[in-house]
Amino acid sequence: MTNKGSSVGYLSCPTCDVEVPLAGDEKVGEHVYCPYCKTPLALRKTKEDDLYLEEDF
Ligand SMILES: [Zn+2]
């Protein structure tokens, strides 16, 4: 399963691997908190335009 474009509903937390819900209008660089492990995460985008979450301590 691949995520295309910006219509992403969930992204995996890199720390605990839980699915973090997104509203869908988050911007790249925006910070979200994992609801499970409370890790601060930053929204990033790959060269292929795929969104992912990166730990941002
Ligand atoms: Zn987490």
Q: Which residues surround the ion ligand 1 when the cut-off is CB under 5 Å?
A: 13, 15-16, 34, 36-37
What average pLDDT score do residues 24-52 get?
94
CA of 11 to the centre of ligand 1 (A): 10
Torsion, Cα 22 23 28 34, to 10 degrees, reads: -30
The secondary structure of 5-38 as a DSSP string is TT--SEEE-TTT-PEEE--S-PPTT-EEE-TTT-
Write the CB contacts of 42 (distance below 8 Å, at least 6 apart in sequence).
29, 30, 31, 32, 53, 54, 55, 56
What average pLDDT score do residues 45-57 get?
94
pLDDT score of 46: 96
Write the pLDDT tens digit of every residue in 6-34.
Answer: 555 899 999 999 999 988 888 999 999 99
For the cut 80, the answer to whether the pLDDT of residue 35 exceeds it is yes
CA of 41 to the centre of ligand 1 (A): 9
pLDDT score of 4: 52
CA of 47 to the centre of ligand 1 (A): 24
Whole-model pTM: value is 0.79
- What domains are defined for the chain? 10-55 (2.20.28)
